[in-house]
Structure 1
Amino acid sequence: MNSINMNIIAKDVAKGSGSLKVMVKDSIDIAGFQTLSGSLAYQDSPVAEQNAQIVDHILNADCQITAKTNLHELAFGITGINKNFGTPINPKYPELIPGGSSSGSAAAVAAGLADFSIGTDTGGSIRMPAACCGVYGLKPTFARVSRIGVVPAQSSLDCVGPFANSVSMIKTAMQIIDPTFKKDFSLSKTPRFAILDVAADEEIWQSIHDFLNQAQAVSEKVEVQSFNDAYRAGMQIINYENWQAYGALTKTGKVAADVNNRLLKAAETTLTDVENAEQIRKKFSQEIDQILQQFDAIILPTLPQIPPKVVDAENTTAFLNLTALVRPFNLSGHPAMSIPLETANGLPVGLQIVANQNADEMLCALAEDLLKAAQ
């Protein structure tokens, strides 16, 4: 077992006789194991008495849960760097960050250690590491997948979702973790895509446009006036809720400096800030819904730039802009998937697709259709 290189915290967690191997982010309860959330502050915590509901779904599908995976401490960071339990190596791009906070879950799939893995996404924490590690990652519609037994217990933004090396396996995973998911959904017409006009590096956009041209996708550029406001509003809510969940841990002296400092800064967020953020949430959600009345899905980059190297990413705060294109959809709750692409120089790019609320099945079908058309 090597928690630094292979991102495994505990092996042989729970087994069925099924053929699918699954790994689960260590902010999700598995009976008989501690839920450490990547933090020494929970080192003396008792083991979980029962499984998270999603874990029961996985075991009831006769899958093998082979490990719990590491994460950016307290799921409050975007680089995936963890000073306490080690930083998972990005298997396909070893010099680059694995992305956070679900770093270990993305790295496990990229390394071929699991058929699918489970992460959580409060401000991009599935889609970002998926883009960094060159795998598929789905943030389902908010509340579509159960959060019972997931840390923190209360969140108005967090979603549980899968990583995999194909859309087909994403669909299989969703069918397992969300009993309402219909895997056999098919498209009835040629889809139309709205290309969201957002700021990203030229090489990122070039990779996405090349892919869409190859797929002969029908698309039109659109703008969302409140997009940047939604990004900031999402951070206000994350800060407020994380301080409520983890603020007491700042007194233990066991939280790494990067996360501890972010928590102390988060303590400055007021209820008035949150109330203002809720107003922006309403406006932004309405704008996205209006676009999705005219188009089947919205396309934009997952990340605005190539992921930084690990050696350059020690200061998490300096790279918060990496969440600029993912966090708004936590605020609105729409389902979003990151599809792995590469630049002409072989560097990772994520193409993000966003669909209507509870249209997770259609989102997966659209992704499969694009990929097939681009072959």
Structure 2
Amino acid sequence: MSAFSQAFDLATQAAADAPTIAIKDSIDIAGYPTTAASRALADAPPAPRHAQVVQRLLDAGWRITGKANMHELAFGMTGINDFSGTPVNPQDPMRIPGGSSSGSASAVGLGFVDAALGTDTGGSVRCPAACCGVIGLKPTFGRVSREGVAPRQTSLDCVGPFAREMNTVIDVMLAIDPSFQSGRARRDVTGIRVALPEVQADGEIRDAVATAVARSGLPSRAVRLESIQDAFTAGLAVINAETWRAFGHLVDSGKLGPDILARLIAAANTPGTELDAAERIRRDFTDELDRVLGDSDVLILPTMPSLPIKIEAARAGTSVIAMSSLIRPFNLSGHPALTFPVPIDGTSLRAGLQIVGRKGDDETVCAVAAYIEAMLARPAEGKS
């Protein structure tokens, strides 16, 4: 079961039928090493205490079934890991599971657990969730505690849940975020205003998202995000610099996978001028997004521009960086973003529909996703 890097059963006040959850191996669980699925950290000492999100889950009665596998050091989009194993994509075992929270998405999609926690620095919750056909939420930056989560310092990373149903996503958020409001997350959002950014994506992906929005009946309007491509590029510069600061010391260990070693060495050379420009773009894109959300309650767009590629193609060197072109910008800005699986005509595979909300309004993002979930569960017009 390569979805898990370590399997166990941890509970404090959980009932016999308590919901189960897996925890990404970049999040501390007391008594277990936090290895980030890397040979370079395989001998790490056991964590002395639980990460705050783990403690809150235990206090809320969740049963933790193990640590979820991941792309090494949370620094990759494919989820392929030759050290700890590559998790299975439940939609299609021939395709990449996505990264970096690959094991979290796989474990949920395969039904091993009710939910999982991952981390999202450049799409690392939403990418694998979309690849594996499950729900994944990146909360507003800073809203959910990162105490006990690697890397320790970041301006992008967020802890977020995976699940197969929105009700479970909301239950996890209620456990890990004391400020999360159940009533707002479960309210009726009929008539809420939706903005549809014009983005580059494959036709089958765009059609799947458009069909889901149409079936929801939510009023929508087209908008343009002029700086979304710049935000994507800026997000790459920031994650490179911050990951180098966190893990650059492992380059000389001789224990890193070749893909991570190459990426870290390249990240070491991120020019200061790129980081200065990235901060300007961060401000500009955040302002642009806030203006659009001033006239709309949420944005809806594809999570990824295309379906996940085959593992064989990824191993052959096919670039996957464009997978994060529509998700990474919202790490840079810090807005909450959720991916929800929607059907694609002519295939059993599902596309990711991404919902982005105002900063701090994670509840509305969840409420809109739950509403779309309910609308899609109804028979389509003209069908029984």
| TM-score category (smaller protein) | over 0.9
2:236 aligns to what?
A: 235
**Alpha-carbon distance, 1:316 to partner:** 6.6
2:152 aligns to what?
A: 153
Q: 2:190·2:218 contact (CA, 8 Å) conserved in 1?
A: no
Structure 2 Cα separation of the partners of residues 316 and 299 of structure 1? 31
Structure 1 Cα separation of the partners of residues 253 and 222 of structure 2? 49
Secondary structure at 2:369 match in 1 = helix
Structure 2 Cα separation of the partners of residues 91 and 105 of structure 1? 12
In angstroms, what is the RMSD of aligned CA positions?
Answer: 1.2
- Within 5 Å, give how 1:300-315 maps onto structure 2: 300-314=301-315
Q: 2:189·2:367 contact (CA, 8 Å) conserved in 1?
A: no
Distance 1:307 1:178, change over 3 A: same
Structure 2 Cα separation of the partners of residues 265 and 11 of structure 1? 34
1:368 aligns to what?
A: 370
Q: 2:109·2:132 contact (CA, 8 Å) conserved in 1?
A: yes
1:272 aligns to what?
A: 273
Structure 2 Cα separation of the partners of residues 157 and 315 of structure 1? 30
My pick for the range that moved more, 114-123 or 315-324, is: 315-324
**Alpha-carbon distance, 1:240 to partner:** 0.4
2:20 aligns to what?
A: 21
Secondary structure at 1:184 match in 2 = helix
Distance 1:361 1:268, change over 3 A: same
**Alpha-carbon distance, 1:52 to partner:** 0.6
Q: 1:307·1:348 contact (CA, 8 Å) conserved in 2?
A: no
Moved beyond 6 Å, runs of 4+: none
Q: 1:24·1:69 contact (CA, 8 Å) conserved in 2?
A: yes
Distance 1:281 1:315, change over 3 A: farther
Q: 1:77·1:316 contact (CA, 8 Å) conserved in 2?
A: no
**Alpha-carbon distance, 1:147 to partner:** 0.4
Structure 2 Cα separation of the partners of residues 13 and 89 of structure 1? 22
Secondary structure at 1:12 match in 2 = strand
- Within 5 Å, give how 1:1-375 maps onto structure 2: 2=1, 4=2, 7-16=3-12, 17-18=14-15, 19-185=18-184, 186-187=187-188, 190-314=191-315, 318-344=319-345, 345-374=347-376, 375=378
2:382 aligns to what?
A: none
Q: TM-score, normalised by structure 2?
A: 0.94
Spell out, residue by residue over 1:265-313, the C-alpha distance to the aligned partner (whole angstroms, 9 max, x if none). Answer: 1111022221110000000000000000000100110000011011111
Structure 2 Cα separation of the partners of residues 292 and 151 of structure 1? 31
Q: 1:142·1:335 contact (CA, 8 Å) conserved in 2?
A: yes
Letter of the 1:82 counterpart: N
**Alpha-carbon distance, 1:92 to partner:** 2.6
Q: 1:193·1:219 contact (CA, 8 Å) conserved in 2?
A: yes
Q: 1:258·1:316 contact (CA, 8 Å) conserved in 2?
A: no
Q: 2:133·2:349 contact (CA, 8 Å) conserved in 1?
A: no
Structure 2 Cα separation of the partners of residues 160 and 128 of structure 1? 14
**Alpha-carbon distance, 1:342 to partner:** 2.5
Q: 2:91·2:349 contact (CA, 8 Å) conserved in 1?
A: no
Spell out, residue by residue over 1:321-349, the C-alpha distance to the aligned partner (whole angstroms, 9 max, x if none). Answer: 10000000000000000000121122231
Q: 1:224·1:287 contact (CA, 8 Å) conserved in 2?
A: yes
Overall identity of the aligned pairs, in %: 45
Letter of the 1:167 counterpart: M
Could you tell me which runs of 5 or more consecutive residues in structure 2 were left unpaired when the two chains were aligned: 379-384
Q: 2:79·2:96 contact (CA, 8 Å) conserved in 1?
A: yes
Letter of the 2:349 counterpart: L
Distance 1:55 1:299, change over 3 A: same
Structure 1 Cα separation of the partners of residues 372 and 317 of structure 2? 34
Secondary structure at 1:100 match in 2 = coil
**Alpha-carbon distance, 1:315 to partner:** 5.7
Distance 1:83 1:103, change over 3 A: same
Letter of the 2:240 counterpart: N
**Alpha-carbon distance, 1:48 to partner:** 0.6
**Alpha-carbon distance, 1:188 to partner:** 6.1
My pick for the range that moved more, 230-239 or 271-280, is: 271-280
Structure 1 Cα separation of the partners of residues 219 and 298 of structure 2? 11
Q: 1:78·1:316 contact (CA, 8 Å) conserved in 2?
A: no
Secondary structure at 2:273 match in 1 = helix
Structure 2 Cα separation of the partners of residues 60 and 240 of structure 1? 36
**Alpha-carbon distance, 1:13 to partner:** 4.4
Structure 2 Cα separation of the partners of residues 48 and 61 of structure 1? 21
Q: 1:193·1:299 contact (CA, 8 Å) conserved in 2?
A: yes
Q: 2:251·2:261 contact (CA, 8 Å) conserved in 1?
A: yes
My pick for the range that moved more, 140-149 or 336-345, is: 336-345
Structure 2 Cα separation of the partners of residues 10 and 70 of structure 1? 8
Distance 1:201 1:247, change over 3 A: same
Structure 2 Cα separation of the partners of residues 13 and 48 of structure 1? 16
Secondary structure at 1:28 match in 2 = coil
Spell out, residue by residue over 1:116-140, the C-alpha distance to the aligned partner (whole angstroms, 9 max, x if none). Answer: 1000000000001110111000000
Spell out, residue by residue over 1:228-279, the C-alpha distance to the aligned partner (whole angstroms, 9 max, x if none). Answer: 0000000000000001111111101101001110111111102222111000
Q: 2:189·2:371 contact (CA, 8 Å) conserved in 1?
A: no
